[in-house]
Structures are given as structure tokens and as C-alpha cells.
Amino acid sequence: MRSLSGISVCAISLAATLATSCDGVPESKASSRPASEAPRTVRVVSAMEAAVPDVVAVSGTLAAEEEVVLGMKAAGRLRTIAVDLGSGVARGQVLARLAPTDFSMRVQQADAAMAQARARLGLAPGEDAASVNPSDTSVVRHAEAVLTEARARRERAQALWEQKLLSRADFDAAEGAFRVAESQAQVAREEVLNRQGVLAQRRSELDLARQQLADSVLVAPFAGAVRERHASAGQFVAAGQPVVTLVRMHPLRLRLAVPERAAARVRPGQVVRVSVGGDPNVHFGRVARLSPAIEESNRTLMIEAEVPNEGSALRPGTFASAEIVISSDRPVVVVPASAVITLAGIEKVLTVQDGKSVEKRVRTGRRLEDRTEIVEGLAAGESVVVEPGNLVGGEPVQAAPSAPRESAAS
């Protein structure tokens, strides 16, 4: 019993000694805690109000201002084709030629037929058929001479008939000859008019043959680039058969579907900032055309913007992100982009209150270089933690202001 009592007294004395060592030490040593419980130093900045452009962010597809499939107007065999995929062309540049032999021979044939028609009218070289007086042609002059002779005979027969010196039969013969000569003179005048019509027809045939010869050469209707070549030299092509597809590269047309809620703010002439994947540059265009109606299927307004592309840096068919600048000075709240935490689709920032970190859910807008627009959940002047890392709400923290350079950037 005495040994057990001694053990109990020793245990009580040991417990008292341990308690004294934990609570009775100097204040400087008592304040040392495990690293997990020490306040974490974080850098904070104030959310600022900045004037940034008010934009409508949309996406769309760049298209060529004009795209045309070119073919020959006449059938024939391709003699040469001067372009290939990607070839840049100027307006009026020759793209392909047909073998010209058949077309040249048709021109010669039509030219000979026209010369024959001119000769039948008695036209001198270079004389215009419209200036021809039918009475000056040989056909009409001959007919009128016959008519004059027949008229004189009839007058003499008329005089002899009245004097009873000519039989009735001879008088009737003279009268009939006059009528025939009169009708032949009329036929001659009509023949001249007919020959003038034939000459006009031959002129049209010659113009057509010359046009077919010109159409045997395919030229570019506008400056652009060859998107596709459909035929090769030596191939026989029918009239209208595709030979090359040509696209206009400058300017390009950007088609955008603007949501209905923002459509009322879009106007022709507004600036459009265009970005495409793989190109760090921002391209600028302007709203050119607006659809008159909202698409009922997706509640959007289709608009078109013209984007200059003189250097051909952009390609038709490219997917593009665009911002339509509605106004240039809308005030918004911004914070450094590194202050925003996104987890499982939830956006939040961390603030410091009473020595602890506090989470605040926010809704962000646009990314403005190294800053992010806060649409909802944070007011200008409130402090946020920059680069929170693995910091979560409720941890003890000690706020330290950011460096002057960082504050200016924010």
C-alpha cells in the first residue's frame, strides 16, 4: 500500500510539472505555434473602376466579298491555263485560253460575207450603209430608167389613141408595159432595203464571231486569288463548264449572329475588332449591313461587317471572334486576372476580413489584357487577394499591400 501511494504522488507531481512547462513559460515562447496555424501573408489590391469600351462579343465566319466559278462562254479545247491553286490575280488578267483556230476562221468567214453584202449595195470601203440612198443604187436606177421609158411609150400611145391612129391592142400593150415597169421599180427599191438588212445581219454575224474569238480567252473579272482549278490544258470544255473558282480577298465579309438582347444597339458603321486563331494581331472592320428581321430559330440578328485584308493575312472560311464596339467609355469594375478563381464553373475572389480570408462569388465579363471585368458580386474599392494559390476561405491571413508597380497595373 505504501509503494502504491508513492507512485500516485509521483504521477501527480509529474502532471503538475508538465502543466507548468506549457503555461508558465515566457510570453515570447508561448506565442510560437505550428506553421499550419500561423497567419499567412497575402498581397491585396483594391478593385478599381475603369472606363473601357462597351462591346458585344460574338463569333462568326469570314467569307469572301465575292466568289465566282468561271467558265468559258464558248466550247473548245483549252490551249493554256495560266493559274493554279492559290495564284493571286489582277483584274483583267488572262486565266486561260482556248485554241483560237476555229474562232479565227469564223471571223474570216463572217468578214467575207459582210464584204459580199456591201458589194451588192455598191458601198465603197469605209462607207456607212445607213447613208445609202436607194435611188442611188444601180438596181433602182435601172428600174427607174425602164419605168421612164415605159411611161414615155404610154404617153405616145395615149396621144395616138386619141387621134384614132393606134389600135386598142397596141394602146393596152403600152399601158401594161408601164404598169410592169412601175412595179419593177418598186421591187428594186425593196430589194435595196432588203440588201441593207442583209448587210446589218452580216455585221451582227461578224461581231458575234469576233466576240466568240474574244470569249476564247478567260479573264479575271476582279482582283483576287484562285480557290480551285477545275480543268487542265488540252481538255475539251463545254460552254459554261467550270475552269477556275476565283475569290476576292480584299475586303472580306464577316457574318455575325448578334443575340436579340444586343441587336438594338448595333448600327452600321460601328467598329468591329476581329481576332482569329493562330494570329496574335487584332484586325479592325466596320458593320456594313444588318438583316431586317430576327431569326426566329435562334433569336439572333444576322449582320455583316467588312474587314480590310489588303495583305491577305486573313483567309475566307476562317472562324473569327469579334467585338462590336457600341461605345468607348463605359465604366466597369476591374481586378487583376490573377485574383479570380474558377472552380467547377464557379467564379470567386478572396477578400480579407478580421484577419481571415473570405470567399466572394462573382460574375466576370471580358478579359482586358491582365485585368478581368467584374460584372456582379464586387464593388469598386473592395480589396481582393492577388494570386491566392491554394488559399481557401476561413484561413487566418495577414494582408500586405501590393507593390506600387502592380497596383498601377491593376
Instruction: Locate 370 and state its grid cell.
Output: 491582365
Any domain includes 257: yes
Tell me: do 290 and 144 sit in the same domain: no
Specify whether the CB–CB gap between 191 and 201 falls below 8 A. no
Between helix 101-121 and helix 168-215 the angle, nearest 10°, is: 150
Distance CA 307, CA 53 (A): 20
Distance CA 327, CA 289 (A): 19
Q: 114-119 — which CB contacts under 8 Å span 24+ positions?
A: 114/199, 114/202, 114/203, 114/205, 114/206, 116/202, 117/195, 117/198, 117/199, 117/201, 117/202, 118/199
Q: How many C-beta neighbours within 10 Å does residue 235 have?
A: 12
Tell me: do 305 and 178 sit in the same domain: no
Tell me: do 90 and 227 sit in the same domain: yes
Any domain includes 16: no
Any domain includes 18: no
Any domain includes 43: no
Any domain includes 327: yes
Tell me: do 263 and 375 sit in the same domain: yes
In the numeric block, the cell 509521483 is attached to 10
What pLDDT shows up at residue 82? 96
Tell me: do 132 and 197 sit in the same domain: yes
The CATH number of whichever domain residue 315 belongs to comes to: 2.40.30.170
Tell me: do 80 and 129 sit in the same domain: no
The CATH number of whichever domain residue 238 belongs to comes to: 2.40.50.100
Profile the chain (410 residues) by mean pLDDT over runs of 10 residues: 40 40 38 58 90 88 94 95 95 96 96 92 76 81 92 92 90 92 92 90 95 96 95 95 95 95 94 93 95 94 95 92 88 92 90 90 86 91 90 88 49
Tell me: do 359 and 382 sit in the same domain: yes
Distance CA 166, CA 156 (A): 10
pLDDT tens-digit map of 305-350:
999 999 889 999 999 999 999 987 788 899 999 999 998 889 999 9
% helix, strand, coil for the chain, step of 5:
35, 35, 30
What pLDDT shows up at residue 403? 55
**Which residue segment(s) compose the domain that 76 sits in?**
67-98+218-247
Any domain includes 11: no
Tell me: do 211 and 222 sit in the same domain: no
Tell me: do 138 and 271 sit in the same domain: no
Tell me: do 274 and 301 sit in the same domain: yes
Any domain includes 333: yes
Tell me: do 178 and 304 sit in the same domain: no
Instruction: Locate 34 and state its grid cell.
Output: 505550428
Specify whether the CB–CB gap between 49 and 333 falls below 8 A. yes
Any domain includes 341: yes
Tell me: do 261 and 389 sit in the same domain: yes
Total domains, the chain: 3
